[in-house]
Amino acid sequence: MSLGDGTHTFTYEKEVLKKPPHHYLKVSLVFENEGTKLDSVELKQLMISGLRSLYGEVGAALTFDLLKYDEDTLVSILRVSSRGLVKLWSSLTLLGFYQEQACAFRVLQVSPFLLALSGNSRELQLD
C-alpha cells in the first residue's frame, strides 16, 4: 500500500494461530466439610499428587502454573500447555480425597484465552 508520494510502503500480514500454546482453566475445589481451607502450596501439591496417581512420575512432571487462587472460595485459574490439558483435566476430575476427606474439583471454564475466563455468560445478569 502506497501513501501517494511513493516513499512509504506498508505491508500487512494475517497470522492465524492454529494450535494455541496454552490453555487456561478456571476450577473450583469442593470439600465434603465446607470449612476446609488450603493455601496455594497445598493446592498445587494436591494437583500434582492427582497427576502422579493417574499418570505416574511422568504425569507429575507436567508443568502447569497456578495463576490465581482465592483461599476463601477455593477457586483457581491454571495455565497448562495445550499438550497437557487433557492430562491435567482428567487428573483433577478423578481426584476424590485430600487428607482422607472427600473432595472434588469442578472445572468451571476452559479457554485458550485468559481474557475469556474474566466473565461467564451463564452468570450474566442484565438489569
95 to 34, 45, 66, 88, 112: CA distances (angstroms):
17, 12, 17, 11, 24
**Percentage of residues in the chain having pLDDT higher than 70:** 86
Q: Is 11 inside a domain boundary?
A: no
Residue 91: give its domain's CATH number. 3.30.70.3250
Q: Is 83 inside a domain boundary?
A: yes
Q: Is 52 inside a domain boundary?
A: yes
Q: Is 9 inside a domain boundary?
A: no
State pLDDT tens for residues 75-115: 999 999 999 999 999 999 999 999 989 999 999 999 999 99
State pLDDT tens for residues 10-38: 788 877 667 899 999 999 999 998 889 99
Cell of 23: 490453555
Q: Is 5 inside a domain boundary?
A: no
| pLDDT of the residue at 2 | 44
| Count: domains in the chain | 1
Q: Is 74 inside a domain boundary?
A: yes
Domain limits for position 89: 22-111
Q: Is 64 inside a domain boundary?
A: yes
Q: Is 2 inside a domain boundary?
A: no
pTM above 0.85, yes or no: no
